[in-house]
């Protein structure tokens, strides 16, 4: 990561959460979970990679599924290890859309103006 | 707030955090604290309004001050109640810049595309 390291600049990062009422529809953790489910084909493998319990990952998936018009993750029977999970077309759209939103944010004049005020060397 | 209320639509909201390494330079809580310090002229009054301790508010101010090229909040002697706090020019810039960044985000095509996928009625 960009922290510490003598004389290296710290890179400002933006974390975006999209909330629906009190629920976080998608944010840094949930988007990472979606990406890892897509990569590993498994909620439990994704959970392990993030150091969280299967139950916690499942609750995050359920919360996301409840926020969007269609579920983002579906479980599949059979296949490697006797079943797994994959992103639905809506899940793919949300993941890509979240990354697009982050990328757009980094490109705005407002982001540059704000981050130009930061101290960009380690404290 | 936009939660519950029969038949009313939930409004999607975006929360943005700007991080510098592991530190949150500015985000929803810190920007609210800045706005309340500006409004009340006092860190302790701002802390009370947010339901946090003076110590916690002070630590947040210190963290912000350490992330930017100049302090965002300065304490002032005398005046109402024998002293208070106010935003520095940098503090004003950061608060305005943060609000501008949020506003820009709401106006992007990417935000619309992502939030068009949300369920906009209460669960």
Q: Is the pLDDT of residue B116 over 60?
A: yes
CB atoms within 10 A of CB A66: 13
Q: Is the pLDDT of residue B78 over 90?
A: no
Chain A residues with CB under 8 Å of B118 CB are: 18, 20, 25, 67-69
Q: Is the pLDDT of residue A120 over 50?
A: yes
- What's the complex ipTM? 0.83
Take residue B24 and report the two structure tokens written for it: 């949150």
What is the C-alpha separation between A93 and A54, in angstroms, rounded?
24
Pick the residue with more confidence: B3 or A39? A39
Q: Is the pLDDT of residue A119 over 60?
A: yes
Q: What is the pTM of this model?
A: 0.85
Residue B86 is predicted with a pLDDT of 95
Residue A80 is predicted with a pLDDT of 55
Residue B81 is predicted with a pLDDT of 55
Say whether residue B58 is in contact with chain A using an 8 A CB cutoff. no
Residue B82: which residues within 8 A CB-CB, separation 6 or more?
Answer: none
Per-position DSSP letters for chain B, written without gaps between them: --S-STTPPPPEEEEEEEEETTEEEE-HHHHHHHHHHHHHS-HHHHHHHHT--HHHHHHHHHHHHHHBSS-SEEEE-STGGG-EEEE-HHHHHHHHHHHHHHHHHHTSHHHHHHHTTB--S--
Residue A5 is predicted with a pLDDT of 47
Residue B8 is predicted with a pLDDT of 59
DSSP A113: H
Over residues B99-104, the mean pLDDT reads 96
Q: Is the pLDDT of residue B91 over 60?
A: yes
Q: Is the pLDDT of residue B7 over 70?
A: no
Over residues B82-99, the mean pLDDT reads 93
Nearest to A94 among B67, B100, B114 (CB): B114
Phi-psi region of A114 (alpha: psi -120 to 50; beta: other; left: phi over 0): alpha
Take residue A26 and report the two structure tokens written for it: 């998608």
Min CA distance, B81 vs chain A (Å)? 32
Say whether residue B13 is in contact with chain A using an 8 A CB cutoff. yes
pLDDT, tens digit, for every residue of B24-70?
999 999 999 999 999 999 999 999 999 999 999 999 999 999 999 99
pLDDT, tens digit, for every residue of A66-88?
999 999 999 887 655 556 999 99
What is the C-alpha separation between B12 and A23, in angstroms, rounded?
10
């Amino acid at each position: 990561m960009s922290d510490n390291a003598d004389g290296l600049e710290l890179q400002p990062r933006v974390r975006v959460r999209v909330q629906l009422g009190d629920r976080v529809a998608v944010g840094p953790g949930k988007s990472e979970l979606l990406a890892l489910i897509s990569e590993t084909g498994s909620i439990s493998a994704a959970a392990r990679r993030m150091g969280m319990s299967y139950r916690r990952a499942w609750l995050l998936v359920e919360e996301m599924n409840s926020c969007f018009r269609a579920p983002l993750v579906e479980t599949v029977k059979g296949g490697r290890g006797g079943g797994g999970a994959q992103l639905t077309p809506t899940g793919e759209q949300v993941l890509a859309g979240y990354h697009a939103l982050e990328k757009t944010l980094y490109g705005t004049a407002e982001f540059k103006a704000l981050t130009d005020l930061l101290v960009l060397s380690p404290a």
